[in-house]
Structure 1
């Protein structure tokens, strides 16, 4: 039996429409006028609440298997459902074993079975010595590959130097899958840290100086050159410096297949407002200046930054070292799966951006990166019936009970955000409704 979700604001690729979203057998059957709703359909009137496509997050550290004390499929996907996400793509590091071989991928799949409230898919890793595993991983179903040009913080997922990377690029190009790059080089960071030998590591200014813009800029310049040489799909993860925007635009104007993401924390926070010792805001690359933050918003407006993803990277609270407040000792990562949509909507409310912009940045563009546009990312006939009912007017205070991921710590705690996910639907079934979840996880691995 068809269900018709009536709304004044259905956010589609063709604009926001007044009408009905028709759902049948887990798929979107049509978006139609109210008068065209079949007489036998079950009608759900959403009033002025907006209907958006289920969000797609291509940068999530779920950490299972091996580090479920940090996060796991069950807790991460619960938080995702509460935040309006219906598809997550899991990063290949911080889990044990890291997803750098087909055998490790099989372990991840076993650990995810029956645990997921939303759909998920894996990225594979490109590390120092796994070049021979690239094509087998592609054939086994990873959606792309992630690499670090600098030490990633965990020993098991090794950084890749230029020689090793160039050995991996031909099979990556052959696979047709994207390479996601943590774009920082060690040279500028090592030089900066030498000059900070006697600095106060409780000071955010010290941490910011230790990871200068040049580390990102030089890494992006290197990757643009390699993209030109090897003709692979390049994706720059968590762009934090706006200094790279001009070169990225020039490379894309040249026709190079480059996409770029940034994250809510780079668009919401600024270095000038980060108090010393506030290690909950440590991430890498770091949150930079207010001027830089505004420039990232301009790059989104201009279409140079394609998407907003969370880089949800949780850890046990003690690893954030709030006891010492030392940025050099704290784990770098910010968790935001349950809040990201509300954070971005709050920022957009005063900037003239629309729900269509948000749907593009947080759903259709990440879906395209992952190669999943034929299934998810937009409200169109034939797509999976993954959607959310979003109250754009309600405000709420960020408290621990709204986080839903494993550890209830957040740098957003105590903030008032505008825009609330009321319900999340996965293949036409309600999985989250105003603070409560379905009792049986129905998420599954999504494939190309």
Structure 2
């Protein structure tokens, strides 16, 4: 009789294709056996009774900003990865711009990689940056293991990470295509957003609604149309990040029909918060592109239900509280970024599964399976199958809770979701066969328990 490291028994196992009752046995960081009918007769050094609970593949968050090195006081790898683990995330891809130095060459990549190996409590990959003056570094970043490259078509807000003009962008896409890699883009029109913002500020129109109106959906659509034409011409694999509207998603869907190799993500905040919420909550709900109205939220859910949205990324973009303060009511001045690494799954369960009858399989597909396939990690990640990494999130779909600052692992526990009531939460996170998070506590080295 085999003895496994862990056996998770009696759970409802959910993949992107199926739901069934069964046991999962883990050995040497991998899934060693799965039962679909009868209980496994083998034993485990640790046994977890998951009766009444659902087990999904660990979430892959392809879009986070942990800011280390250089801006650890904004978040940091330790607190950021613990926050992700608490939310059922087992792998994240860290964006290149908020670090200092930004991840735009081999030296910066190796520095961040070394820190992440030492400090991250879950698995990770790193994005490389594409900026106007690092095209000669792209191939070396790819050899270092960059999961892909990130570029901004409008100013990023970080001086050391400049947005890239069209000629350099096109040239960079040719290089990335030759490497078989992928480009992710923040797609907003610089001309439209800067001209509208300039006009708003001239007339001292600086409220939350004014900020949203200065970055309209048409700005995203213009930039997405442009970058799709470059992808079609260069053959570069493309990923549109944080689409805020179904109108943007529709452009991607049409491009797919034409044979363009493109995927699109949206974020939990675009599926759960509106511009009216932004006006009420304040600066902690500021982001770019901005939040949209309620009709846009519903249309985005329709796109998600139809399978047109490939994946969900939290776009966790934290900042110290002082950068989120508005002294004179000018919403243009404050840092634009939402802290959301820990709440992605709760939002999808509450707003999607419970309120809009989105199947769990579709949620798994968008949060785990599709990211794994798109970024070359499947089948080792993104599925519950024999031989896959033992990356699991165990959920209590019926558990209700109201989010409080006290349970956030963020370095700065502010969030637009504080006070919001959720149904469904992650109760246990297993990363490569190790229980990392359980019932509100981080489990470090199998002994040390850390609370927020």
TM-score (norm 2): 0.94
Matched, 1:9 2:12: yes
Give the aligned partner of residue 207 of structure 2: 203
Partner of 2:438: 433
Q: How does 1:276-291 map to 2 (within 5 A)?
A: 278-291=282-295
* Residue in 2 that maps onto 1:174: 178
Q: 2:41 aligns with which of 38, 43, 50?
A: 38
> Which residue in 2 is equivalent to 1:148?
152
Tell me whether 1:188 sits opposite 2:192 in the alignment.
Answer: yes
Cα distance in 2 for partners of 1:107, 1:272 equals 41
Match of 2:227 in 1: 223
Change (3 A) 1:441 1:258: farther
Among candidates 242, 254, 273, match of residue 269 of structure 1: 273
SS across alignment from 1:114: helix
Aligned position for 2:91: 87
Query: Which runs of structure 2 are paired with 1:25-424 in the superposition (5 Å)?
Result: 25-35=28-38, 37-41=40-44, 43-275=47-279, 278-348=282-352, 349-424=354-429
CA RMSD of aligned residues (A): 1.7
Q: Which residue in the other structure is 1:21 paired with?
A: 24
Query: Equivalents in 1 of 2:383, 2:398: separation in Å?
Result: 23
Superposed CA deviations along residues 318-341 of structure 1, whole A, max 9, x for unmatched, are 101244442111100001111110
**Post-superposition CA distance 1:98-152 (Å, at most 9, x none):** 0000111011122223211111110000001111111111011101000000110
Q: Partner of 2:450 in structure 1?
A: none
Aligned partners of 2:122, 2:56: CA distance in 1, in Å?
16
Once the two structures are TM-superposed, the CA of residue 274 in structure 1 deviates from its matched residue by 3.0
> 1:77-108 deviations in whole A, cap 9, x for unaligned?
11011110010100001100100001110111
Greater shift in the superposed pair: 183-192 or 51-60: 183-192
Indicate how the Cα distance of structure 1 residues 260 and 376 shifts in structure 2: closer, same or farther if over 3 A, else same: same
Rounded Cα–Cα distance in structure 2 between residues aligned with 1:275 and 1:169? 38
Task: Supply the distance in 2 between the matched residues of 1:70 and 1:252 (Cα, whole angstroms).
Answer: 37
Point out the more displaced range, 75-84 or 243-252: 243-252
Distance 1:214 1:78 in 2: 37
Give yes or no for contact 1:196–1:210 (8 Å, CA) kept in 2.
yes
Q: Helix, strand or coil: the match of 1:378?
A: coil
Distance 1:276 1:394 in 2: 28
Give the drift of 1:359: 0.9
* C-alpha deviation, 1:270, in angstroms: 1.1
- TM-score for both structures, normalised by structure 1: 0.95
Shift of 1:34: 4.7
Distance 1:395 1:324 in 2: 38
CA contact (8 A) 2:102 2:160 kept: yes
User: 1 CA distance for matches of 2:197 and 2:17?
Assistant: 50
Q: SS where residue 406 of structure 1 aligns? A: coil
1:50–1:195 distance in 2 versus 1, CA, 3 Å: same
* Rounded Cα–Cα distance in structure 2 between residues aligned with 1:196 and 1:114: 46
Distance 2:157 2:79 in 1: 23
8 Å Cα contact 2:249/2:264 also seen in 1: no
